[in-house]
Amino acid sequence: MVGPTLLKESGPREVFCGLTSIVWLHRRMPDAFFLVVGSRTCAHLIQSAAGVMIFAEPRFGTAILNERDLAGLADAQEELDRVARELLQRRPEIKTLFLVGSCPSEVIKLDLARAAERLNEELLGQVRVVNYSGSGIETTFTQGEDGALAALVPMLPSSDERQLLLVGTLADAVEDRLIHLFHRLGIKTVRSFPPRQSTDLPALGPGTTVLLTQPYLTETARLLKNRGAKILKAPFPLGAEGSRAWMAAAAEDFQVPSETVADVLAPLMERAFKALEPHREVLAGKRIFLLPESQLELPLARFLQRECGMELVEVGTPYLNKEQMSEELALLPAGTAVMEGQHVEQQLDRVRSSQPDLVVCGMGLANPLEAEGITTKWSIELVFSPIHGIDQAGDLAELFSRPLRRRRLIQPALHPAGSEHPIHT
């Protein structure tokens, strides 16, 4: 088969762990609280990833294990009960409490499922307690959302109703827009998972067709399938082409006539093409290197190559689920280097030797690469920005064209180009 070249490497990594997804999950469900059971490192990580301390009392926190818990002087289960009670007393508006496992809690084998079960009994349905792991020894960055959603699947009520279920957190405005478009296609019942209120869980059953909005929901998809839902195969809704194919997959499943699809989507595609034009001018022919982080790398690479005319030097991905990514892989040019896993030093060697025009990477690497004269786009912005759907294609392209335009705007003489030694150390 002619397709991308699939490669693997392992070594030191520069990626977030699954706890980081709490940063957007807690905003999606304002009636939920995410309680990490972990260490000071976990607390510091989420705080640093969240940026600034905007909220007096955020809807996430850490039950920090101390020496007494580890030495067995305190019963960790009892301690967790105490912390959870204290928390729920302070925050009576919380309807769902996620107990989130971390590296230390996994290593000491603290049974959060048992804790959740016990707390559920005690709280008598006033607050639903669920658990999942966001630990770095098991999960990467966006995989945390997969864990959180998978933990909720058993709670979904059953229903045979014919419906389209959008799975994965989207920005509210984007979600509204997509649902509106599905309505125009004639798909009447469209629900979302996760819902905007944690108690408002969608029902599920054989009448349910699932469209994954995000590429990192492997486990959730498997569990939904086990509950009788049909999981559609489609490229992910990034870029105009991918979003169109994604919507068309649903339309086909709901037997929407192809003329209707064309009528509804063609004007959108035309508009997206126009919106992409100025960005394509900047991006076309430019070489891009994507480091592994958000798991969005494959769909983004496909969009940037096919719709923006970029050349793919290397597409990193923290892990590769070939089945779920099959549609994306099929759209990549033959021979594209797709690198699963990471050896960050060797990868940076390849970045330096290939001298790409743009590197997509995490915040720990962006400034150091910029100081070496390599233009970057930090990937965490991609999980916070409304980028899904045909209408967002232009905005998505702009996230990549902006750093290149900026680089052109700033007088190059300010930076000693090609210098081996960065000036801002």
Partner 1 sequence: MELTLWTYEGPPHVGAMRIAASMEGVHYVLHAPQGDTYADLLFTMIERRGKRPPVTYTTFQARDLGGDTAELVKRHVREAVERFQPEALLVGESCTAELIQDQPGALAQGMDLPIPVVSLELPAYSKKENWGASETFYQVLRGLLRNQAPEQASHDPTAWQTQGRRPRVNLLGPSLLGFRCRDDVLEVQKLLTMHGIDVGVVAPLGAGVGDIRRLPQADLNVCLYPEVAESGCSWLERTFGMPFTRTVPIGVGATHDFLVELHGLLGMTPPAPEEGYRRSRLPWYSESVDSTYLTGKRVFIFGDGTHAIAAARICNEELGFTVVGLGTYSREMARPVRAAARELGIEALISDDYLAVEAAMADASPELVLGTQMERHSAKRLGVPCAVISTPMHVQDVPARTSPQMGWEGANVIFDSWVHPLMMGLEEHLIGMFRHDFEFVDGHQSHLGQAGGTGMGSDQARAPETTPSESDLIWTADGEAELNKIPFFVRGKVRRNAEAYARQVGCREISSETLYDAKAHYKA
We find the least distance from the C-beta atom of residue 413 to partner 1, in angstroms, to be 18
Q: What's the rounded Cα separation, in Å, for the pair 191 and 205? A: 13
Residue numbers 178-217 binding partner 1 by CB under 8 A: none
Member of 63, 97, 204, 393 binding partner 1 (CB under 8 A): 63
We find the least distance from the C-beta atom of residue 90 to partner 1, in angstroms, to be 9
Give the CA distances from residue 381 to residues 214, 225, 353, 385, in Å, rounded to whole numbers and listed in that order. Answer: 15, 31, 26, 6
Residue numbers 361-400 binding partner 1 by CB under 8 A: 362-368, 370-372
Residue 119: how many other CB atoms lie within 10 Å: 21
Judged by CB under 8 A, the number of residues near partner 1 is 70
We find the least distance from the C-beta atom of residue 173 to partner 1, in angstroms, to be 24
61 makes contact with partner 1 (CB under 8 A): yes
We find the least distance from the C-beta atom of residue 141 to partner 1, in angstroms, to be 8
Query: What is the per-residue binding string for partner 1 in 5-44, x denoting contact by CB under 8 A?
Result: ------xxxxxxxxxx----------------xxxxx-xx
Member of 62, 192, 218, 305 binding partner 1 (CB under 8 A): 62
HEC assignment per residue over the chain: CCCCEEEEECCCCCCCEHHHHHHHHHHHCCCEEEEEEECHHHHHHHHHHHCCCCCCCCCEEEEECCHHHHCCCCCHHHHHHHHHHHHHHHCCCCCEEEEEECHHHHHCCCCHHHHHHHHHHHHCCCCEEEEEECCCCCCECCHHHHHHHHHHHHHCCECCCCEEEEECCCCHHHHHHHHHHHHHHCCCCEEEECCCCCCCCCCECCCEEEEECCCCCHHHHHHHHHCCCEECCCCCCEHHHHHHHHHHHHHHHCCCCHHHHHHHHHHHHHHHHHHHHHHHHHHCCCEEEECCCCCCHHHHHHHHHHCCCCEEEEEEECCCCCCCCHHHHHHCCCCCEEEEECCHHHHHHHHHHHCCCEEEECHHHHHHHHHCCCCEEECHHHHHCCCECHHHHHHHHHHHHHHHHHHHHCCHHHCCCCCCCCCCC
Member of 1, 2, 53, 409 binding partner 1 (CB under 8 A): 53
Compare residues 277 and 345 and give the one whose CB is closer to partner 1.
345
Q: What's the rounded Cα separation, in Å, for the pair 174 and 160? A: 27
Compare residues 101 and 202 and give the one whose CB is closer to partner 1.
101
Compare residues 199 and 346 and give the one whose CB is closer to partner 1.
346
We find the least distance from the C-beta atom of residue 325 to partner 1, in angstroms, to be 21
Residue numbers 79-108 binding partner 1 by CB under 8 A: 79-80, 82-83, 86-87, 103-104, 106-108
Asked if omega into 403 is within 30° of 0 (cis), the reply is: no
56 makes contact with partner 1 (CB under 8 A): yes
Compare residues 231 and 369 and give the one whose CB is closer to partner 1.
369
359 makes contact with partner 1 (CB under 8 A): no
Residue numbers 119-138 binding partner 1 by CB under 8 A: 135-138
Compare residues 104 and 394 and give the one whose CB is closer to partner 1.
104
Compare residues 253 and 372 and give the one whose CB is closer to partner 1.
372
288 makes contact with partner 1 (CB under 8 A): no
Member of 22, 69, 167, 187 binding partner 1 (CB under 8 A): 69
We find the least distance from the C-beta atom of residue 291 to partner 1, in angstroms, to be 12
410 makes contact with partner 1 (CB under 8 A): no
We find the least distance from the C-beta atom of residue 101 to partner 1, in angstroms, to be 11
Residue ranges in contact with partner 1 by CB under 8 A: 11-20, 37-41, 43-45, 47-49, 52-54, 56-58, 60-67, 69-70, 74, 76, 79-80, 82-83, 86-87, 103-104, 106-108, 135-138, 140, 345, 362-368, 370-372, 422-425
